[in-house]
Amino acid sequence: MEDGGRWSRGSDPVVMNPFDGSEDADRGACRSTWARFSSWLECVCVVTFDLELGQAIELVYPQDVKLTEKEKTSICYLSFPDSYSGCLGDTQFSFRLRQSVGRRAWRLQEDVYNRDAPATLQTEASHFFGYVYFRQVKDVSVRRGYFQKSLVLVSRLPYYGMFHSLLQAVAPEFFEKLQPCLEAGDDSQIYDLTLCKSRLHTRTERQNVLPAPTVLPSVHELDLFKCFQPVLVHLQMFWELVLLGEPLVVMAPSPTVSSETVLALISIISPLRFCCDFRPYFTVHDSEFREFTTRTQAPPNVVLGVTNPFFIKTFQNWPHVVRLGETKMAGDLPKQVKVKKPSKLKTLETKPGVYTAFKTFLHKDKILIKRLLRGIQRKRPSEVQSAILRRHLLELTQSFIIPLERYMASLMPLQRSVTPWKTPPQIRPFSQEDFMSTLDQTGPQLTSGLKGDWTGLYRKFFRSPNFDGWYRHRHKEMTQKLESLHLEVLSDAVSHTLAANQKTETEIIYHTLAANQKTETEIIYHTLAANQKSDTGIIYHTLAANQKSDTGIIYHTLAANQKSDTGIT
């Protein structure tokens, strides 16, 4: 804009016209940028405490992101600890909330991502993940005496490790500078200003003040050993409870412990996907509170993380409750909580423990427990302990799932049964009894040293949401494979048919042309021959006739003349 003035930054112009309040260019550029960035983040929220309203969203960025009132309310309550007294300073934790129905359609790029991503890292169509950095510090300038604010990253991706590290880098600066730092761009920019038909050109250099890059070993993995320190001896029990999708409540002293423990629990059956609901941090204000705490029906298949002591009474009817306290040491080793009867979970003073009547199907792996405890005594790094623990759990899950995968593969029709002109053959139904009959030769005992009732574990697994989710996913993959094979066979058949038809048509055309050419040649030949014969005959007979006539005339003339001459004489 020559007269009004326009700053241009690189190839993206930014309108700075004091006489025009339009911000269309700014918003257009912002939408374009966030349309790409939304693959990582849905939005950034700032939640503060208002003396009149309580928790309230102070800022949503970008501003054109539409959150429903229900979603805003959930984010407000889930972004603050239930009890502030024990959360002075900075606190990080995670939550998961259900999206409003019909919020928006599933995006194509997410389908592409989920097709290639491991099951445990896939995005969710119906839930958001929230990653929170909460700060509570004394502030005499605030009527309540404390500064309380949360910076929340809302995403569809379960990248706990990555977003945790991102908040550690961004949040402290945000709490010092607040909103402007969220929108601050690259310091190194080129600006052009056109005024009175003159162009001013300037460049601001990037300040070399960035810290060294952070290298993350994983975008999603947690420190399993740290999360399970007080319950290491019960790890086999938790693996079975999570595998079977049992209702489970984790009562923790802080949102950090609550969310990390829940996320660690659902990860211990990896690479099998946890197909039940889970809430790393759950409050009494959650919109699903009544749904999860009703006593008129059996508890749902969900893993909940809570901190409010009120829940002790609320979840008395739940079959499995883990009450965690602050980690205590017994000498060099962390003190292990004990298994207790659920009936003892009654008062707010309930001691830490695992309140359940569950009997494990498999025996404990005592060798693993001794190895981990010995690692504590030897000051083995937590990362190494977690790697040992993760490898053991991975091998255990694989030993359990490999027989299922092998049997499922046997239900696939043979490739030779796929024919082009018939519908694809059907995948044979899954028979639990047929599968059980295969365990003697191909069961988990081939790859795992754990003893116990594997058959009973499988039978209960068949009734769980995790089996249903696994079976549906595998059946879908096999169906797609069959359809792909059928299309391939059909394509080959069509190609051969077209090739054969093309050959037949070519031969017909060739023989027709050859026959036509031959017929035409013969007609021309016979015509020419006939014509030649006719012409020759005509000429011959004409010549003969003419010759005869001429001879006769001459003869008769000579005879007449001779006779006349004789008569005269």
- Whole-number Å distance between alpha carbons of 46 and 183: 13
**pLDDT of 144:** 76
- Whole-number Å distance between alpha carbons of 199 and 2: 10
250-265 burial string, b = 16+ CB within 10 Å, else e?
bbbbbbbbbbbbbbbb
Rama region for 23: left / alpha / beta (φ>0; ψ in -120 to 50; rest): alpha
Predicted confidence (pLDDT) per residue in 131-190, tens digit:
999 999 888 887 778 888 999 999 999 999 999 999 998 999 888 877 656 555 555 556
| CATH fold match for the domains 7-204 and 224-374 | no
Distances (CA, A) of 540 to 421, 551, 553, 554: 73, 16, 19, 20
Low-confidence ranges of the chain (pLDDT < 70): 1-35, 83-86, 102-109, 179-217, 330-331, 347-349, 503-569
**pLDDT of 554:** 40
| The model's pTM | 0.77
Is the CA virtual torsion 450, 453, 455, 456 positive or negative? Answer: negative
Class of domain 224-374: alpha beta
Q: Which residues, at least 6 apart from 261, have a Cβ–Cβ distance to it below 8 Å?
A: 227, 250, 252, 305, 322, 324
- Whole-number Å distance between alpha carbons of 519 and 516: 5
**pLDDT of 149:** 92
- Whole-number Å distance between alpha carbons of 79 and 67: 15
List the structure tokens of 379: 């000051």
- Whole-number Å distance between alpha carbons of 175 and 181: 9
Share of the chain above pLDDT 90, in %: 43
Q: What is the DSSP letter of 231?
A: G
Predicted confidence (pLDDT) per residue in 101-123, tens digit:
765 555 666 777 888 888 888 88
Domain residue extents for the chain:
7-204, 224-374, 397-487
Q: Which CATH number applies to 7-204?
A: 3.30.450.200
Predicted confidence (pLDDT) per residue in 373-396, tens digit:
899 989 999 999 999 999 999 999
**pLDDT of 8:** 36
Predicted confidence (pLDDT) per residue in 202-260, tens digit:
555 555 455 566 666 677 788 999 999 999 999 999 999 999 999 999 999 999 999 99
Distances (CA, A) of 414 to 407, 417, 427, 478, 481: 14, 5, 10, 12, 12
Say if CB 202 and CB 191 are below 8 A apart.
yes
